[in-house]
Amino acid sequence: MKQNGMTLPEVLIGLALVALLMSLMPAFAGMLDRHRLENTTRDLATAIRYARTRAVVEQTGVTIKALEDDWGNGWVIFQDRYRNISRDDAGPMFIERKLANRVQIQGNGSMARYIHFSAQGFPNQKSGAFQAGSLVVCSPRVETKSSKLILASGGRLRMSAMKTGCP
């Protein structure tokens, strides 16, 4: 005789598995948010180091600028011979990276919008003064962790882990 349907133990085991998977979802989402935060921090640090290297190799000014004046939207790296923090028609664009705006990146001082490297690899403001500061990379969904990228006046970049969320 052919049976259709499921027995009570099969249904209970299926419900138990669904309940177990549902209980793991918040932890998995948190893990994804932390992973996204770490990857964005590494990507931005790599982009800043690339811009500095490109300036030295090309022997010309290179700027990494926040897209739409918000680092959370992404950044663009371009040749900036005249230190006017805008892409000139003659100068090439090296990299443009757009982000899905799931993280917040906040810079202090002139680093709130751009970082410009001279041909010697030193960070300079638009006025020509040295540029130093930090960028904080955080996520509103990760309350106990953020990262800080600190740029020294000599052009060296270092990363620092913070045990707090977004400021």
Low-confidence residues in the chain, pLDDT < 70: 1, 90, 101, 167
What's the confidence (pLDDT) of residue 117? 95
68-110 pLDDT tens trace? 999 999 999 999 888 888 877 767 888 889 988 678 999 998 8
- Identify the residue whose tokens are 């690899």: 121
Please count the other Cβ atoms lying within 10 Å of the Cβ belonging to residue 110: 19
Q: Is residue 114 a contact partner of residue 83, using CB atoms and an 8 Å limit?
A: no
Q: Is residue 129 a contact partner of residue 153, using CB atoms and an 8 Å limit?
A: no
- Pairing verdict, β 62-66 and 114-117: antiparallel
b/e map of 61-96 (b: 16 or more CB within 10 Å)?
bbbbbbeeebbbebbbbbbbeeeebebeeebeebee
Length of the chain: 167
Instruction: Tell me the C-alpha distance between 93 and 85, whole Å.
Output: 13
* DSSP of 18-44: HHHHHHHHHHHHHHHHHHHHHHHHHHH
pTM: 0.82
Phi, psi dihedrals of residue 7, rounded to the nearest 5° = -85, 165
What's the confidence (pLDDT) of residue 133? 93
What's the confidence (pLDDT) of residue 22? 78
Domains of the chain with CATH codes:
9-162 (3.55.40.10)
Instruction: Tell me the C-alpha distance between 55 and 22, whole Å.
Output: 50
Q: Is residue 123 a contact partner of residue 115, using CB atoms and an 8 Å limit?
A: yes
* DSSP of 47-78: HHHHHHHHHHHHTS-EEEEEGGG-GGGEEEEE
What's the confidence (pLDDT) of residue 1? 62
